[in-house]
Amino acid sequence: MLENIKEYNCRCGKEHIFSAEIYSGSGKISELENILISENIKKVFLLADKNTFAAAGKPVSGILEKCGVQINSFVFDSAHVEPDETNTGLALMHYADCDMVIGIGSGVINDIGKIISNTANKLYCIVATAPSMDGYASSSSSMTRNGLKISLPSKCPDIIIGDTDILRKAPERMLVSGIGDIIAKYIALCDWRISALINGEYFCEDIALLVRKAIKCCVENADGLLKREKAAVEAVFEGLIISGMAMNLAGCSRPASGIEHYFSHLWDMRSVEFGTPCDFHGIQCGLASLISAKAYMKLKTTVPDREKAIENAENFSLDEWNETLREFLSRGAEAMILLEKKEKKYDLSSHRIRLEKIISHWDEILKIIDEEIPPLEELYSLAEKIHLPVIPEEIGISSDILPLTFKATADIRDKYILSRLCRDLGITDEITEAIL
């Protein structure tokens, strides 16, 4: 199923490049021996956490020893590693010069491994331990810096190994996380297309088609994934790889990340600052996708009101909002407030320009929503089938914070998403009532 894309000039006007070598299927861990020989690898730096090393450390170490490769390793003591300055710095301090960095794990280990290999300018191989998220093939790392969740440029792995004999043994919660991260793409594509329409942002239909293919493949194999069927596990893993590949080809996270990811980022940030609960990235994104879909369905019932939108923008107090952000997020709020000084998304003249485009293209916006987001009953049926939480309380988060979370998503990145569209229309309060 994986696309054989290396580089090509697209009709969108960009040259798309993807260079990772991908090995997916039963027994594919054995390919590591051939890779080590062909790349003449003599020394590796091995990165894992306690759980991921237990999942695949033995076969990887065995192959390295068989090939006579010198191993320097760092294994995090904890099974839960926060992707932040402390843990990234800790891993870097244990780094030893090598020919290749090998990560054993999924999201966090891969994100840190990509940063280390990029910093050291070394080959990077990730041995996947769970089909839990779509970041394996992306060229960025999802990190927490100064309390703010950011997408940090790093590198795409040179080699991705997804052995289904290892992947299918992942905890069920991580299997569910993988499907949750794919469900998020419905919302991400919708956000992306609407922004392209309103702001003239770059959009590539070929990449969008690639993501839709990944969604279809993963959703069709959801049943088999939870039954740990090898074919289904392989199909879902490859769908996740395609999603990551799409981000690489686009040169941004747009094809795979929209407002639903920002819900997840905010919950992560609050967890770091206040010790509140959080869950796997894909589970949070899947749940947030259901919330975002409800918001989009409410948006469809709206008739844009120019006077109301202008009045709302003129009465908005940025100082009051910044204080609200500080109470809600603590440290992370400061980075968001600084970002707005560069962004100036609350500038009244810019708002007027966007508002006129929104009103003039309203029918097209409604069409995009219909084309990209399935009916709510279909999404909730899928969630039930794969045991995905459908209300925040199922992951320990109070629904009471949903309205403020929705509003805060507008400030976490310089990206036009649903919450910013609602602010431009002056209907944020009506939309947040609908998601409770």
Enumerate the β-bridge partners of residue 322: none
C-beta separation of 173 from 164 below 8 A: no
Separation between Cα atoms, residue 127 and residue 129, nearest integer Å: 7
Q: Is 60 exceeded by the pLDDT of residue 4?
A: no
Q: Following CA atoms 28, 32, 35, 37 in sequence, which dihedral angle do they give, to the nearest 10 degrees?
A: -130
Task: Identify residue 317 by its one-letter amino acid code.
Answer: S
pLDDT in tens, 208-260: 999 999 999 899 999 999 999 999 999 999 999 999 999 988 989 999 999 99
C-beta separation of 195 from 415 below 8 A: yes
C-beta separation of 193 from 185 below 8 A: no
User: What is the reported pLDDT for 329?
Assistant: 96
The token duo for 409 is: 């998503």
pLDDT in tens, 31-45: 999 999 999 999 999
pLDDT in tens, 178-218: 999 999 999 999 999 999 999 999 999 999 999 999 999 89
C-beta separation of 100 from 249 below 8 A: no
User: What is the reported pLDDT for 7?
Assistant: 59
Q: Following CA atoms 102, 183, 209, 406 in sequence, which dihedral angle do they give, to the nearest 10 degrees?
A: -100
- Average pLDDT of 384-389? 95
Sequence-ordered alpha helix ranges (H) in 103-220: 107-120, 164-167, 172-199, 205-220
Q: Are strands 140-145 and 100-105 parallel, antiparallel or unpaired?
A: unpaired
User: What is the reported pLDDT for 2?
Assistant: 56
User: What is the reported pLDDT for 350?
Assistant: 96
- With H, G, I as helix, E, B as strand and everything else as coil, classify residue 243: helix
With tokens 């090898």, the residue in question is: 230
User: What is the reported pLDDT for 163?
Assistant: 97
C-beta separation of 125 from 103 below 8 A: yes
* Dihedral sign computed on CA atoms, order 70, 74, 77, 81: negative
User: What is the reported pLDDT for 79?
Assistant: 74
Please enumerate in sequence order all residues whose Cβ is within 8 A of that of 61, keeping only pairs 6 or more positions apart, or say none.
46, 71
Please enumerate in sequence order all residues whose Cβ is within 8 A of that of 394, keeping only pairs 6 or more positions apart, or say none.
287
Chain mean position to CA 109: 15
Task: Identify residue 163 by its one-letter amino acid code.
Answer: D
C-beta separation of 253 from 146 below 8 A: no
Instruction: Give the strand order in the sheet containing 43-49.
Output: 21-25, 159-163, 123-128, 100-105, 43-49, 70-76
pTM (two decimals): 0.93
Tell which residue, 409, 413, 424, has the closest CA to residue 358. Answer: 424
Q: Are strands 100-105 and 159-163 parallel, antiparallel or unpaired?
A: unpaired
Tell which residue, 160, 175, 173, 165, has the closest CA to residue 130. Answer: 175
Q: Is 80 exceeded by the pLDDT of residue 361?
A: yes
pLDDT in tens, 260-307: 999 999 999 999 999 999 999 999 999 999 999 999 999 999 999 999
Tell which residue, 416, 434, 409, 17, has the closest CA to residue 207. Answer: 17
C-beta separation of 284 from 259 below 8 A: no
The pLDDT mean for the chain works out to: 94
The H helix count followed by the E strand count for the chain is 20, 10
